[in-house]
Structure 1
Amino acid sequence: MRLTVAFLVGLFVLSSASAEAIAQETKTSQKTRSGYKHVWPDMEFGWRIVVGSIIACLGAASGSVGGVGGGGIYVPMLALIIGFDTKSSAALSKCMITGAAGATVFYNLRQRHPTLDLPIIDYDLALLFQPMLMVGISIGVAFNVIFPDWLITVLIVILFTGLSIKAFLKGIETWKKETQSKKEATKSSELMEEFELQPESLNNTAPKEAQETKRSKSSVLDNIYWKEFGLLVGVWVIILALQIATSYTTTCSILYWILNILQLPVAGGVSIYEAVSLYKGRRRIASKGDLGTNWRVYQLVFYCACGLIAGIVAGLLGIGGGFILGPLFLEIKIPPQVSSATATFVMTFSASMCVVEYYLLKRFPIPYALYFFCVTVIAALGGQLVMKKLIVVLGRASLIIFTLSITMFATVLSLGGLGLKRTIEKIQHKEYMGFYTLCTYT
């Protein structure tokens, strides 16, 4: 623990020195052609950094466990406590989401499915959702520029209130099933003690124990499906290249729209390939066991649309797409551990793409980004270790679902409160409350 604190303090000192070196790039107020001001506070050690770091740790720990990244906690913290403007907070939160998600993926690459001899990350599920999520991010970023703060606030409250309630009810349902399973296991144990286990029965349990040991000791290379992983990386590289090329064109020019539209066949092609393969039975969502077959067309279309919506929400609000994907995966009967791991895996691609784009657009200060990136990496790893021990001790995977629900409810309070505050300020100052124009924003 002392080493961790010393590391964070040392990192902060280095980041502060870097802040002075690039002072010209991190001006207190930067104004775009549309009239929007980006506010970047100076990086100084004080209560704001301390409180912000604590909140970032809590957000990263809970977000990594729930598979949602924690962006709904980062954005209000950066705006209300550290002092960034809303849009810069959204950009900086992507750095923090990438740190937490990347650390969680690194941890999960060593883990196995809780009941099957499979990796805990479902790569076919990722192939179905990740490409559409990436396209949705691009659309969401554009909406982030266009939509007024009051409308974003309304969307936050409606969407995340519903999702948090849904996740909480799912957690209660899973908790009851776990309780029933515990009772049945206790009865079986009592019967076995009453009739006294024979040596042969004890020997029959050995292969299962050996199998569990084998699963827990699987290497990272065993847990990566290279073909599927290569497709996911390919989509990430191509869409990122198109986004970078778009940033060097004139907004709303013909070339600008062509480069944006080219994302659709790239992402759509991979998602459609995966959907057709699932429909014809060539591939299957293995993490569902025997339930991972017999997909219908309307289901696959709906899931691809959900991936697109998750990306739009993520780009619009500056949060991780896991807020949509996590509850959705639970609804289609994916185990909580696999749901969290896969949602985080998918989210890592989208968040990291946004970080590169925002870096090229100079939307966040580097010292702050480096500091909070490292904070979230450490906190996410800690959260994963603690949750794994709790699940082993208590036998309650539903804890993951409750963490997801609580994180989403905290997002409603924090992001909703931030949006309400900004809206009231604009009303008091009689500022413009309508939609902005994408073509005049850089």
Structure 2
Amino acid sequence: MGMKWHVVAVLGVACTVAAAVAADRGLSFAGAVAPPEEASYLRKLASSLWQSDGTAYHHVWPPMKLGWKIVLGSFIGFFGAAFGSIGGVGGGGIFVPMLTLIIGFDPKSSAAMSKCMIMGAAVSTVYCNLKLKHPTLDMPVIDYDLVLLIQPMLMLGVSIGVICNVIFPDWLVTVLLIILFIVTSTKAFLKAIETWKKETEAAKQSEQTSEEQEYMPLSAGLDAASPSEILSDHDRNETPSDKEVSIWKNVYWKEVGLLAFVWVAFLVLQVAKNYMATCSIWYWVLNLLQIPVSVGVAMYEAVGLVQGRRVISSKRNEQNSLRAHQLFVYCFLGVTAGVVAGLLGVGGGSIMGPLFLELGVPPQVASATATFAMMFSSSMSVVEYYLLNRFPVPYAVYLTILAFFAAIVGQRVVRKLIDLLGRASIIVFILSFMIFISALSLGGVGISNTIHKIERHEYMGFENICKYEA
């Protein structure tokens, strides 16, 4: 539960800072008792934290020309999408620095462009996973009940995160990112070590069992057990993992229909909101209507889980039903993952992956389920960013196609590695590695940008969304 409280603390600090700045903006210095010099300094400080006459932010979109920048960026983006699809994190921690430092986009446009790449990688990964079975159970590798609990809250968080992306200054985004990613990468790495040790023990037990059967007298072996009984439980349970079935038989269409309903409802609300004046009454009404849609579907799944009518089947201990307070925490973390995804331009898998592993979900299922949820959230982010005119379409189309094929390559390679080595913990190690690299790369870029702004005395405060112009 340590990670969860760290996340709560981070969000609390962010909300406190935002509220303090907003309150400071409304204060008047007319009645201050401070000396004129101090009052003047306070006015400058308050002005630097909130700009009241529009926005000073300018987008930088480099021309799409063939050169070393786009070639190097494509190379890095390809490997980022491949590894991101394996770990289920999307790869935004690689995409954003690549788009900012190499190709030359501004940070906020880079966050929007990275969402396009995450969507492309997620779509191809989900297509590959739709045919696969659970590694140990007779069910799909994607846990649809788990997605139905998390994904509606994830999409609600994405909408909040996109708004925060417009409002929050870069320095605050950097602080939140570093704290959050270091905590989640550490948790994922410890889980990877734990999974590796369990796999090693299971392999030793399997070898001992095979040796005992090898030296068993032939007559006794034939009389004592049938060929199917001679196989270990591990061998029998692993049989479905290499098996591909028809998509029509392997998909839970009722759950997918509910997820599609949430996506369409959010899309309609976002399109309608685009025709309303920013900060008007109807603008906020349409924003608030997203709450009953997401909470309603999540509550439908949560009630079923509490009453036992539905189960998160992918958990190793199927009899361990979730309690109401646990479901509340998971839904809250789903919102948090969405806020992170929309705010930072990265995949919500940075939180969902470690969360699913803490639930006891096998690595293959955790990665596939997180990617499935990200497909919905990332595509919604792309729609919202498109409506806000936050990225150039030609660049977005090219990079989306690049990530699409890179994810296919990554999925094929990791499946062969798991079959060869017999260790699914590879996925968890890649997950922790990608999150940690994201913390270093995004954190480094954010710190560098903040230092440059301080040296140039540039505006570093909160943007006024009501006066924001895309």
TM superposition score normalised by structure 1: 0.90
Alpha carbons of 1:343 and 1:214: their partners in 2 closer, same or farther (altered >3 Å)? closer
Q: Which residue of 1 aligns with 2:144?
A: 123
Could you tell me which residue of structure 2 aligns to residue 179 of structure 1? 200
Contact 2:131 2:247 in 1 (8 A): yes
Q: Distance in 2 between matches of 1:436 and 1:210?
A: 54
CA contact (8 A) 1:117 1:215 kept: no
What residue is the counterpart of 1:338 in the other structure? Answer: 365
- Is this contact kept in 2: 1:286–1:292, CA < 8 A? no
Tell me the residue number matched to 2:172. 151
Identity score, percent: 58
Matches within 5 A, 1:204-283: 204=229, 212=239, 216-283=243-310
For residues 384-432 of structure 1, give each alpha carbon's deviation from its aligned partner in whole angstroms, at most 9, with x where no partner exists.
Answer: 1111111111111000000000000110111001101110111111011
What is the distance in 2 between the residues matched to 1:85 and 1:413? 18
Match of 1:403 among 411, 414, 430: 430
Deviation for aligned residue 1:77: 0.5
Q: Aligned AA for 1:107? A: C
The alignment partner of 2:154 has SS state of helix
Amino acid paired to 2:278: T
- Other-structure match for 1:358: 385
Answering whether residue 456 of structure 2 is matched by residue 429 of structure 1, we say: yes
Q: What amino acid sits opposite 1:93 in the alignment? A: S
Per the alignment, residue 43 of structure 1 pairs with: 64
Partner of 1:369: 396
Farther-moved stretch of structure 1 (429-438 vs 103-112): 429-438
Quick one: which amino acid aligns to residue 387 of structure 2? L
> What residue number does 2:189 align with?
168
The unaligned stretches of length 5 or more in structure 2 are: 1-52
Out of 61, 73, 77, which is 2:94 matched to? 73
Report what 1:315 is aligned to: 342
Aligned ranges for residues 55-70 of structure 1 at < 5 Å? 55-70=76-91
Counterpart AA for 1:233: A
Is 1:105 aligned with 2:126?
A: yes
Structure 1 pair 196–251 and aligned structure 2 pair: CA distance change class (3 A): farther
- How far apart, CA to CA, are the structure 1 residues paired with 2:229 and 2:172? 61
Q: Is the 8 A contact 2:349 2:371 kept in 1?
A: yes
The one of 363, 368, 376 equivalent to 1:349 is 376
Q: Distance in 2 between matches of 1:332 and 1:211?
A: 20
CA RMSD, Structure 1 to Structure 2 (Å):
1.8
- Between 1:204-213 and 1:242-251, the stretch displaced more is 204-213
The 3-state SS of whatever aligns with 2:461 is: coil
Question: Hey, what's the Cα distance between the residues in 1 that align with 2:271 and 2:320?
Answer: 39
Structure 1 residues 294 and 209, CA, compared in 2 at 3 Å: closer, same or farther? closer
Letter in 1 for 2:97: P
Instruction: Give the paired residue count.
Output: 411
Cα distance in 1, alignment partners of residues 428 and 117 from structure 2: 22
State the AA in 1 paired with 2:284.
W
Please say if residues 285 and 292 of structure 1, whose CA atoms lie closer than 8 Å, have aligned partners that are also in contact. Answer: no
Distance 1:141 1:367 in 2: 22
Shift of 1:357: 2.0
1:297/1:246 CA distance change after superposition, 3 Å = same
CA distance in structure 1 between the partners assigned to 2:64 and 2:462 by the alignment? 32
Deviation at 1:435, TM superposition (A): 1.5
Give 1:247 deviation, angstroms: 1.6
Offset of residue 291 of structure 1: 2.7
Structure whose CA Rg is larger:
2
Distance 1:257 1:115 in 2: 46
Partner of 1:3: none
SS at match of 1:286: coil
Q: Deviations over 1:140-174 (max 9, x none)?
A: 11111111111111111111011111111110010
Deviating more after overlay: 166-175 vs 207-216: 207-216
